[in-house]
Structure 1
Amino acid sequence: MQLSDLIIRTELKPGDLGYITYRHGALYSNECQYGIEFESYVAQGLHEFFSQYDAGKDRVWLAEYEGRIAGSLILMHRPGNAAQLRCFLIEPEFRGIGLGRKLMDLFMDFYREKGYTSCYLWTTHEQEPAIALYKRYGFQLTEEKPSTAFGKALTEQRYDLVS
């Protein structure tokens, strides 16, 4: 499989929000032992994204392979001309083909096109491959806090884009 075998769309369809929530819950439970609290957190974030959606400020990227979602990424507008990166997920069988870089390129292009002046994301210390990717795009660690919000002890981390 190659990156060129995937289609990337930017419009939500019925079922997408539930599917993104489901895959985050199932994947992070399997790979990181996160509890249902994490799935609820993702669902709340997606509800917030959809309820405040503004096509001129917000964007979702869904990578599909043969009609199946292989990856997701969201840019959500925030006060003060800021953007938040959310719901970044690459299905395991689609890792290593450049999909993460492709989604991040699209994210950064939209971020610049819309003239945002700052960008941040929250993740956990366990997401080392994603963190390495974020750092390549100019994100730097700005805050850390111990947490049990996802059903286990971990460190939540905030990364801000430093240009």
Structure 2
Amino acid sequence: MLIRNTLQPTDIGRIILLHSEYYSATEGYDHTFEAYVAEPLAQFALRTNPRERIWIAESNNQIVGVICICDAGNNVAQLRWYIVHSSLQGTGLGKRLLISAIEFCSLHNYLRIQLWTAKGLDSAKAMYLRNGFSLVAEKTHVIWGAERTEQCYEKPIA
């Protein structure tokens, strides 16, 4: 398994596809979720900020995991696009990606990490809680084809 920190041709489309295939199959998300992933991912790809980094896990020339840290301003890191292919969930890859992202935030003197996720993603929630994140906000609205509750988790960086 290769984990790299640079985007290569086709990566943006493959990252969007990985998210879309997974969440449409498991959560019933519609096509608007692809746009939700695509727009900020494209913006990230155009920036060069040393306080931002992406980790792309690749196996057999397929993207099988992703996590990214974006600079949200005010020394807050935003964790984005965190996903592990369903065939590799439970193997430790997700933990490895998350720990790498947290360590990166510490090295770059962020005060806290923030992420938004959807309520009901219990294995992700458990991973966040095990790694020091706490639920700080919720909002319910129509998004990705249905009424859903989004949740914000934060982790202070010591």
TM-score of the aligned structures, taking structure 1 as reference length: 0.92
Counterpart for residue 87 of structure 2:
93
* Offset, 1:162: 3.4
- Which of the residues 127, 134, 137 maps onto 1:140? 134
Structure 1 runs (4+) deviating above 4 angstroms are none
Counterpart for residue 162 of structure 1:
156
Structure 1 CA distance, aligned partners of 2:26 and 2:69?
24
CA contact (8 A) 1:147 1:154 kept: yes
Counterpart for residue 103 of structure 1:
97
SS of the residue corresponding to residue 34 of structure 1 reads coil
2:2 maps to 1:7: yes
CA contact (8 A) 1:76 1:85 kept: yes
- Which of the residues 14, 20, 25 maps onto 2:20? 25
* Offset, 1:45: 1.8
SS of the residue corresponding to residue 103 of structure 2 reads helix
Note the 1:50-69 alignment, pairs <5 A. 50-54=45-49, 56-69=50-63
Unaligned runs of 5+ in 2: none
SS of the residue corresponding to residue 131 of structure 1 reads helix
TM-score of the aligned structures, taking structure 2 as reference length: 0.95
**Number of equivalenced pairs:** 157
Taking only aligned residues, the RMSD between alpha carbons, in angstroms, comes to 1.1
Unaligned runs of 5+ in 1: 1-5
SS of the residue corresponding to residue 7 of structure 2 reads coil
CA contact (8 A) 2:134 2:153 kept: yes
Please list the CA deviations of residues 102-151 of structure 1 after superposition, one character each: whole Å capped at 9, or x if unmatched. Answer: 00111111111111112100000021101110111111111101121111
Please list the CA deviations of residues 30-58 of structure 1 after superposition, one character each: whole Å capped at 9, or x if unmatched. Answer: 1100011111100012022123331x111
Structure 2 CA distance, aligned partners of 1:78 and 1:96?
30
CA contact (8 A) 2:7 2:45 kept: no
Counterpart for residue 81 of structure 1:
75
Structure 2 CA distance, aligned partners of 1:87 and 1:93?
17
Identical-pair percentage: 34
CA contact (8 A) 1:140 1:162 kept: no
